[in-house]
Amino acid sequence: MHGGNSVSRTASKVVSMRNAVAQHVRDGDVLVIEGFTHLICFAAAHEIIRQKRRNLTLCRLTPDVIYDQMIAAGCATKLVFSWAGNPGAGSLHAFRRAVEAKPPTLAIEEYSHFGMVARFSAGAARLPFWPLRDYQGTDLPVANPQIRSITCPYTGAAIATVPALNPDVTIVHAQRADADGNTQIWGLLGVQKEAAFASKRVIVVVEELVDSSVIRADPNRTIIPGMIVDAVVVEPWGAHPSYAQGCYDRDNPFYTAWEAISRDAERLQSYLDEWVYGVADRAEYVRRQPQLVERLTARRAMSGEVSYGY
Amino acid sequence: MHGGNSVSRTASKVVSMRNAVAQHVRDGDVLVIEGFTHLICFAAAHEIIRQKRRNLTLCRLTPDVIYDQMIAAGCATKLVFSWAGNPGAGSLHAFRRAVEAKPPTLAIEEYSHFGMVARFSAGAARLPFWPLRDYQGTDLPVANPQIRSITCPYTGAAIATVPALNPDVTIVHAQRADADGNTQIWGLLGVQKEAAFASKRVIVVVEELVDSSVIRADPNRTIIPGMIVDAVVVEPWGAHPSYAQGCYDRDNPFYTAWEAISRDAERLQSYLDEWVYGVADRAEYVRRQPQLVERLTARRAMSGEVSYGY
Amino acid sequence: MDTREDEKTGRREDEMLGGREERAYSGSELMACVAARELRDGEVVFVGIGLPNLACNLARRTHAPGLVLIYESGAIGAQPERLPVSIGDPSLVTGSLMVCSMADVFQCFLQNGRIEVGFLGGAQVDRFGNINTTAIGDYASPKVRLPGAGGATEIAIHAKRTLIIAKLDRRAFREQVDFISSPGHRARGRSRADLRIPGAGPTRVITDKAILAANAETGELELAALYPGVTVDEVRAGIGWELSVRESLEVVAAPSAEELRALREDVKVE
Amino acid sequence: MDTREDEKTGRREDEMLGGREERAYSGSELMACVAARELRDGEVVFVGIGLPNLACNLARRTHAPGLVLIYESGAIGAQPERLPVSIGDPSLVTGSLMVCSMADVFQCFLQNGRIEVGFLGGAQVDRFGNINTTAIGDYASPKVRLPGAGGATEIAIHAKRTLIIAKLDRRAFREQVDFISSPGHRARGRSRADLRIPGAGPTRVITDKAILAANAETGELELAALYPGVTVDEVRAGIGWELSVRESLEVVAAPSAEELRALREDVKVE
């Protein structure tokens, strides 16, 4: 009963980053570009900055350098998050300037990591809330009245709740997908599956477009099914300066350098002028830094194979 | 910083099925042997029958032939389940005799599949309940008062709940594990991860014991970490007549034959006498049916490899 | 979804129907064709074993090559090379697009609203499409203990629409079912909207003689279409309530040569 | 866990301490040794970057080879071949025993009670071990906006015990924190038992001069042990409340030759 990729409804999901952003990311959207340290799609953020999207509500556990750039570029009016630092390097200064301004120029809605994960889990399951045993003794429920509680119908215990997060659009970077958007990720998985299932629209950005037969050879690696994907963008090195396991390493020197760049608002704008506005797309970004490929390309560390036969 | 399997706390987790059952399965336990069609550990059930465990509360989504045998053998006083048929073949007649008896000789607690999955999810997360949008308009909450509801603190909507299920012991069959119990499964995953994390004690039964380096080469395939595993049993063909993807096929003729065997209480006891009480262990069970290996050994269908390098 | 319908419909010999020898077909073949015609290309279908499996694979081979088959066992985009005996058959995994945990199946696919069509069957179906797969007689002391709800409760609630497959029989099609395992259009007097059930419910009941469909206002199942050569009285004989008959009664086409070829050669129905 | 402590402790030059030349050690090296000694073989540790990472890998190389390192990013049983810069470093994945989703990390490992030790740090620590990693000044209009809670809230609640790592400083060790991101032994007047918090809380606060520990009855942090050559007054100078001093004050041993060798050669601290 076999017979090719009969699941594809259409071949037209594969589009350029420019078209994917133009079509699916709109002013005022609740936007998620997820990936916990791993697979953070800077290529999508830069295209959103170039297309001058405005009034976005940006959601991520760790806003990271990617949202610091988008905040500096004026894309965001609100940030929903749980940890806003530059891992291993210092602060996100565009974020800090916006929040420390009198009055603040960026609204925030703040959880812990578990709270954010729970919000995406609820969104993915289309439940209005998610229960978690958390937040006792902290000031977070005071700072954020969306953190509430519920009484367990079995034990009578109070259990914290967070509301579902259902973004307008979620962008996920991955190692590979087929043309229909059946997407495989290995290494750190973060909350990408939950964010994608929670979202109204999903853009998948991949290092490599593969034939469906590659996906079908190892179906347990598929994290996001094509049926929930609206666009597939093929963008090698699209996660730099973050990393893609098996493809390229994290650019730690860049993260360290961001501390000084972002501390100075003018220098940050110069960075955006040169590396975001100043390039047409990710291909040009990579072409203009030939040393990246040499410096960061991953060595191989193979997984071994298993058999799916019967 | 590498250096061998420094995570093993002890090498003594690897034991025989006889010892694993003797040590970890006790009269009166709430016992789970999970696996949805795939990887159902009949070898463990047969050893439990041989060791004459009594007053067990057996929990599974699909009691299947495995629990029909345990009910017939007198191990169970209660069954917690969601679908008690013989897939593709008919009824579970030992179960039916017990429940249709006047009065019934087996207590039942009944959910839908989603409800059972949710109970294991709550147990794994150590939440006292799990919310789900389910059961409206059905008689299940009347039949089972453990199905309750809660009011969403955001929308005011009524949401159904089921209570956590935290078994005393869970037995999971898998394709492979290392000596510390780091366990990899591919193909259908069922609720094994959730059941194992929900359980006080965990026995893993594997087709193959592998070196930790095999596990560490593909860490995304690990479903159950060794740190929650109490015993590792190496038992090839331990899931027959169910199957192990990549190892052997489902024995559909056996499932079909069970309809006639189980319909006749005496014939069922004869089956137990010959194939459970009449063999010392799974190795003898397999040795006495040499055609199994020839008839059911899986052809190969390889997954391909990925790289975990950086 | 599971083998309930199989137990009820697939285990006795079919008599051969149809006019000319080369177009002779069995009752099960006709039911599979009728069910397949209800599926649209590109839809996401929660598949059961037995007739639903035949119908889905027939649709893939004829008018709906882009049908996405999802099994509650966790196989997504399955392309089974043999007819699976159970919904957890290994052939559903090999070559599928994705395998996920059952928690994901029920939360991220079904409760999320991603399933467009679900198949249901059962020992008893009432005039509003409520289904009993749990017990005949009193629940606590049943005359016949049936397998139970399985995933059918949540399929009935969350699939955007469901198709019920059942052979006509007065013991099966009853004024009221003994136990509601899966809700239809009105359960214990309350509508789906009133019960906040998201899916549209059983839009069609596909029997061995006719198609029943729900009245848009009352939710009551009515006779909507007859199979070739079947009379209204023959249908009424298999239904335990006063069946309403639609004014413009459709007549179902017999299986086409292409449908029969696909069913027998590609889907490999025995 | 994340780089909060790194930002606070690891980014300035350490002065060299210790008596004889060949046993000279930095303040960070001593803190790493002190933290490592708190870990027992076979324990499951939620690891952060910076000093906690050094301490865990040192313990694995000395007395606790069976330590299980878990990172909130989802790497379980990691064996990093290099010192990870972030808790999501690719070196934590390659050769680990398991990689799981963050939902599993927080639900199945942390909330499940499987984590025995967690590390915490922060800009402000109060006399009951409450930690502020959120904001200095008013939350709505902060003087300094800190990164936020990250996973520290749930680590503080669910780890069976936690270790706080922080350098002594009156601006850091305060009578009250501006914002409680992670609860200590008493938060806003309520005990952990009263708040139904399962973990034991911060059993030790490891500073650059001394170890503080909680009073078993009041939950207040007291001076429990001094580092070599440090006086009680030096400790008091770095603490913004009237510090209680235990009667039998331990003296912390300087790093052993083996600890320093392991730290410098195996763990590769620069």
The structure tokens 């259990």 sit at: A159
Please give the Cα distance from D123 to D146 (Å, whole number). Answer: 8
| Cβ neighbours of C242 (radius 10 Å) | 9
Q: Choose the closest CB to C97 out of A124, A182, A308.
A: A182
pLDDT on residue A12: 87
Q: Would the pLDDT of D8 be above 60?
A: no
Encode pLDDT of D106-118 as tens digits. 999 999 999 999 9
Number of H helices, E strands in chain C: 7, 19
Which chains does chain D touch, 3 or more C-beta pairs < 8 A? A, B
Is residue B119 predicted with pLDDT exceeding 50?
Answer: yes
How many A×D Cβ pairs under 8 Å? 183
**pLDDT tens-digit map of A237-279:** 999 999 999 999 999 999 999 999 999 999 999 999 999 999 9
- Above 60 in pLDDT, residue B4? no
Task: Write the DSSP assignment of chain B as a string of letters.
Answer: ---S-TT-S-STTB--HHHHHHHH--TT-EEEE--SSBS--HHHHHHHHHTT--SEEEE-SS-HHHHHHHHHTT-EEEEEES--EETTTEE-HHHHHHHHSSS-SSEEEE--HHHHHHHHHHHHHT-SEEEES--TT-SHHHH-TT-EEEE-TTT--EEEEEE----SEEEEEEEEE-TT--EE--S--TTHHHHHHH-SEEEEEEEEE--HHHHHHSGGGEEE-GGG--EEEE-TTTTTTSBBTTTB---HHHHHHHHHHHHSHHHHHHHHIIIIITSSSHHHHHHT-THHHHHHBPPP-B----B---
Over residues A293-303, the mean pLDDT reads 97
Closest residue in chain C to residue A199, using alpha carbons only: C112
Statement: residue D23 has pLDDT above 70: no
Nearest to A300 among B214, B249, B307 (CB): B307
| Residue D76: its H or E element | strand D75-76
pLDDT of residue C177: 98
CA distances from B97 to B56, B83, B94, B101, B265 (A): 18, 16, 5, 6, 9
Nearest Cα residue in chain A from C57? A1
Closest to B249 (Cβ–Cβ): which among A220, A300, A310? A310
pLDDT of residue D24: 87
- Give the list of residues 6+ apart from residue C246 with CB closer than 8 angstroms, or none: C213, C222, C223, C224
Residue A310 to residue B298, Cβ atoms within 8 A: yes
Q: Distances in Å between the alpha carbon of C151 and those of A307, B121, B124, B149, C48?
A: 29, 16, 21, 19, 10
Would you call A9 helix, strand, or coil by DSSP?
Answer: coil
User: Would you mind telling me the total number of residues written for chain D in this entry?
Assistant: 270
| CA C88-C91-C96 angle, 5° bins | 95
On chain B, the residues whose CB falls within 8 A of the CB of A154 are 128-129, 148, 161, 163-164
Model confidence at B74: pLDDT above 50:
yes
* pLDDT exceeds 90 at position B5: no
Strand A169-177 relative to strand A30-33, pairing: parallel
Q: Are chains D and B in touch, 3+ Cβ pairs below 8 Å?
A: yes
D153 and A135 in contact by Cβ < 8 A? yes
| Contact between chains at B302 and A131 (C-beta distance less than 8 A) | no
Q: Is a pLDDT exceeding 80 seen at residue A119?
A: yes
Token digits of residue C154? 């949540």
B31-70 residue pLDDT tens? 999 999 999 999 999 999 999 999 999 999 999 999 999 9
Q: Do C82 and A1 touch (CB under 8 A)?
A: yes
Q: What is the pLDDT of residue A3?
A: 34
Q: By the CB < 8 Å criterion, does B102 face chain D?
A: no
Q: How many CB atoms lie within 10 A of CB A264?
A: 12
Give me the pLDDT at residue D7, please: 39
Nearest CA in chain C to B298: C90
Q: Choose, out of D41, D71, D89, D98, the residue to mutate when testing the contact with B (most B CBs < 10 Å).
A: D98
Better-predicted residue by pLDDT, A35 or D1: A35
In this prediction, residue B229 carries a pLDDT of 98
d(Cα A167, Cα A186) in Å, to the nearest integer? 24
Q: What are φ and ψ of residue D222, in 5° steps?
A: -125, 160
Give tens-digit pLDDT for A167-220. Answer: 999 999 999 999 999 999 999 999 999 999 999 999 999 999 999 999 999 999
Show which residues of C are catalytic. 72
Q: Which chains touch C (3 or more CB pairs under 8 A)?
A: A, B
Structure tokens at C119: 């198949």
For A146-160, what is the mean pLDDT? Answer: 98
Closest to B152 (Cβ–Cβ): which among A128, A245, A304?
A128
D-interface mutation test, from B2, B5, B7, most D Cβ less than 10 A away? B7
Classify each residue of A271-299 as buried b or exposed e, where b means 16 or more C-beta atoms within 10 Å of its C-beta: bbeebbeebebbeebbeebeebeeebebe
The pair phi, psi for residue D44, each rounded to 5°, is -100, 115
Q: What is the pLDDT of residue D269?
A: 53
pLDDT digits (tens, 9 = 90+) for B198-252: 999 999 999 999 999 999 999 999 999 999 999 999 999 999 999 999 999 999 9
**How many CB pairs lie under 8 A apart between chains B and D?**
88
CB contacts, 8 Å: A6 with chain C: 60, 65-67, 79
Q: Is there a contact between B220 and A131 if contact means CB atoms under 8 Å apart?
A: no
Inter-chain contacts counted by CB atoms under 8 A, chains A and C: 87
**Inter-chain touch D94–B310, beta carbons under 8 Å:** yes
Which residue from B7, B197, B212 is facing D108, i.e. has the nearest CB? Answer: B197
Which of C89, C112, C162, C176 is the mutation pick for testing B, counting most B CBs within 10 A? Answer: C89
Residues found in chain A:
310
**Partners of residue B227 in chain D, C-beta under 8 Å:** 44, 68, 76, 114
Which of 15-44 (B) contact D at CB < 8 A? none
Mark whether D and C touch (3+ CB pairs within 8 Å). no
Put simply, the answer to whether C79 touches A225 (Cβ < 8 Å) is no
Q: Which chains touch B (3 or more CB pairs under 8 A)?
A: A, C, D
The minimum CA-CA distance between A193 and chain B, rounded to whole Å, is 14
How far off is chain B from D156, nearest CA to CA, in Å?
17
Nearest CA of chain C to the CA of B3: how many Å? 33
Which of D145, D162, D195 is best to mutate for the A interface (most A CBs within 10 A)? D145
C-alpha distance from B262 to closest chain A C-alpha (Å): 27
* Token output for B265: 């209480």
Q: Cβ contact (<8 Å) for C60 and A6?
A: yes
pLDDT of residue B77: 98
Q: Alpha-carbon Rg of chain D, whole angstroms? A: 18
Helix, strand, or coil here: D61? helix
In chain D, what residues touch B6 (CB-CB under 8 Å)?
60, 65-67, 79
Q: What is the pLDDT of residues D153-209, one digit of tens each?
A: 999 999 999 999 999 999 999 999 999 999 999 999 999 999 999 999 999 999 999
Q: What is the ipTM of this complex?
A: 0.95
Q: Do chains A and C touch (3 or more CB pairs under 8 A)?
A: yes
Q: Return the pLDDT at A6.
A: 38
β-bridge mates for residue C124, sequence order: C132
CA dihedral D255, D256, D257, D262 (to 10 degrees): -70
Residue B1 to residue D77, Cβ atoms within 8 A = no
CA C33 to CA C51: how far, in whole Å?
Answer: 10
Could you list the mean pLDDT of each consecutive 10-residue stretch along chain C, which spans 270 residues?
A: 36 51 80 97 90 91 94 95 89 97 98 97 96 97 97 97 96 97 96 96 97 96 97 97 96 95 79
Q: Is C234 helix (H, G, I), strand (E, B) or coil?
A: helix
A85, A193, A252 ranked by CB distance to D3: nearest: A85
| pLDDT the model gives residue C2 | 36
User: What pLDDT sits at residue D17?
Assistant: 63
Q: Is the pTM of this model over 0.90?
A: yes
Alpha helices in C18-116 (DSSP H): 27-37, 51-61, 102-104
Cβ neighbours of C87 (radius 10 Å): 30
pLDDT at D12: 37
Tell me what pLDDT residue A4 has: 37
Which positions in chain D touch A112 (Cβ < 8 Å)? 149-154
D chain contacts of residue B226, beta-carbon cutoff 8 Å: 77, 97
With beta carbons less than 8 A apart as the criterion, state whether B198 and A283 touch: no
Q: What is the mean pLDDT of residues B76-91?
A: 94
Q: Which residues pair with D222 in a beta bridge?
A: D213, D244
Angle of the B64-72 helix axis to the B265-272 helix axis, nearest 10: 100
Q: Do D111 and B126 touch (CB under 8 A)?
A: yes
Distance CA A254, CA A241 (A): 7
D81: nearest CB among B1, B124, B194: B1
Asked if the Cβ–Cβ distance from B154 to A303 is below 8 Å, we say no
Subunit contact C111:A7, Cβ cutoff 8 A: no
A-chain residues within 8 Å CB-CB of D183?
136-138
